[in-house]
Amino acid sequence: MPPIATPASDSPASDRLARLSAEGVAIWLDDLNRARLTSGNLAELVRNRHVVGVTSNPTIFDKALSKGSAYDEQIADLALRGVTVGEASRAITTYDIRWACDVLRPVYDATGGVDGRVSLEVDPRIAKDESGKTVAEARGLWWMVDRPNLFIKIPATQQGLPAITQCLSEGISVNVTLIFGLDRYADVIDAFMSGMEKAAALRGTAAIANARLAYELYEQKFATSRWEALAAAGANRQRPLWASTSAKDPAYDDTRYVVELVAPGTVNTMPEATIEATADHAPLRGDTVRGTYDEARKVFADLEALGIAYDDVTAVLESEGVDKFSASWAELLDTIDKEMARMTGKAG
């Protein structure tokens, strides 16, 4: 892969790092502390030394906390709040990791997610736990950092292998550590592939399954005597509407959410590009909703088995949807306000 950053100078050191990067070696910094972040040192290494990732571990953070005063204010606040040592550790480390993820985000975007990663380790004391604590810890850290370019570092113990598979299947990116033997590395590769297979099997299926089950509910509700009485009184029948059905993921066919949601009495609101794509090449095959309800229910059962809770997902989508609409509304009002001010000035 070509270098991500162009060195500020043509020094021999920069030339050698550029060559190493050009040879396909991703250069990661094996260190992280708050001083690197506040001073801009990490950003400088990204710009001038072809650094495209960062890894951390308990030793690195212990060293960072033992020197200087960069963490004093946060530690004082945590102590005042009376939090546990474990909670304080997560708060301190995730703060630095989140910041580092933001510094590396341009690299992540530029490489399509291949690089620009920052690694945070789960508690190594649970490396041999078989109760699921590693997965629970990985989920917690993934949620706390809340950055797509995070890596959760999991030890490659025998007990860690299923945790690696589970995390990957849930969309949690994993950096596997403590691999010493070839046999164990083979196990890690298998765990990786198993996790990706599970994730790929369900990728992009939830939205269609949800819409299909909504149509089933629609059929059930409008087959009741309650609706029949309304219909007899002249009421128009409600129609399910599939909203803004462009395929946001370029990996999907651009008519996916048209072809897979064909049913009588529905509305499909398409951007013009999707209308043109449907007219040009949509592989229409008739009703693709009725008769799929059991299959759709299985999709959600499989997602639930992976730890993805339907109610949690819909709650987040609703909250984010309201926030986005509110932001758009505010932007609209701001634009109208500026245009009114401009026209008032013009009239004067």
How high is the mean pLDDT of the chain? 89
Task: Say what percent of the chain tops pLDDT 90.
Answer: 64
Q: Which of 63, 67, 133, 153 is catalytic?
A: 153
What was the pLDDT predicted at 3?
Answer: 39
- Residues 7-33 have a mean pLDDT of 81
Of 176, 158, 160, 170, the closest CA to residue 195 belongs to 170
What was the pLDDT predicted at 207?
Answer: 87
Whether the CB-CB separation of 8 and 48 falls below 8 Å is answered with: yes
- Residues 132-160 have a mean pLDDT of 94
What was the pLDDT predicted at 74?
Answer: 94
Contacts of 244 (CB under 8 A, 6+ apart): 269, 270, 271
What was the pLDDT predicted at 276?
Answer: 93
- Residues 129-133 have a mean pLDDT of 89
Question: Does residue 29 register a pLDDT over 50?
Answer: yes
What was the pLDDT predicted at 137?
Answer: 94
Catalytic annotation present for 338: no
What was the pLDDT predicted at 10?
Answer: 56
Whether the CB-CB separation of 185 and 129 falls below 8 Å is answered with: no
Query: Which parts of the chain are beta strand (E)?
Result: 27-29, 51-54, 117-121, 150-155, 174-177, 241-242, 267-268
Question: d(Cα 218, Cα 197) in Å, to the nearest integer?
Answer: 33
Contacts of 171 (CB under 8 A, 6+ apart): 199
What was the pLDDT predicted at 249?
Answer: 78
Question: Does residue 323 register a pLDDT over 90?
Answer: no
Q: Confidence class of residue 13 from pLDDT cuts 50, 70 and 90? A: low
- Residues 284-297 have a mean pLDDT of 93
- Residues 42-49 have a mean pLDDT of 95
What was the pLDDT predicted at 5?
Answer: 44
- Residues 69-96 have a mean pLDDT of 93
Question: Does residue 292 register a pLDDT over 90?
Answer: yes
Residue 71 backbone phi and psi in degrees, to 5: -105, 0
Contacts of 102 (CB under 8 A, 6+ apart): 147
Over residues 207-234, the pLDDT tens digits come to 899 999 999 999 999 999 999 999 999 9
Q: By mean pLDDT, which of 131-145, 180-194, 320-334 is the weakest?
A: 320-334
Over residues 157-193, the pLDDT tens digits come to 999 999 999 999 888 999 999 999 899 999 999 999 9
What was the pLDDT predicted at 347?
Answer: 60
Question: Does residue 9 register a pLDDT over 70?
Answer: no
What was the pLDDT predicted at 12?
Answer: 64
